[in-house]
Amino acid sequence: MSETIFSRIIRGELPCHRLYEDEHVLAFLDIFPLSPGHTLVIPKQAVATLDQLSDDASAAIGRVLPRLCRAVMAATGVSDYNILQNNGAAAHQAVFHVHFHIIPKPSAEAGLGIGWPAQKLGDSDGQDMAEKIRGQLK
* 84, 100 Cβ separation under 8 angstroms: yes
Report d(CA 39, CA 65) in Å as an integer.
11
Q: Minimum distance from CB of 49 to ligand AMP (Å)?
A: 11
Instruction: Name which of residues 93 to 122 contact ligand AMP (CB under 6 A).
Output: 93-95
Report d(CA 17, CA 4) in Å as an integer.
18
> Does 26 sit near ligand AMP (CB under 6 A)?
no
Alpha-helical runs (H) found in 11-82: 55-76
- Indicate the residue among 58 and 87 with the shorter CB distance to ligand AMP: 87
Binding site for ligand AMP (CB under 6 A): 5, 14, 16, 30-32, 40, 86, 92-95
Looking at the annotation, which residues are catalytic?
99
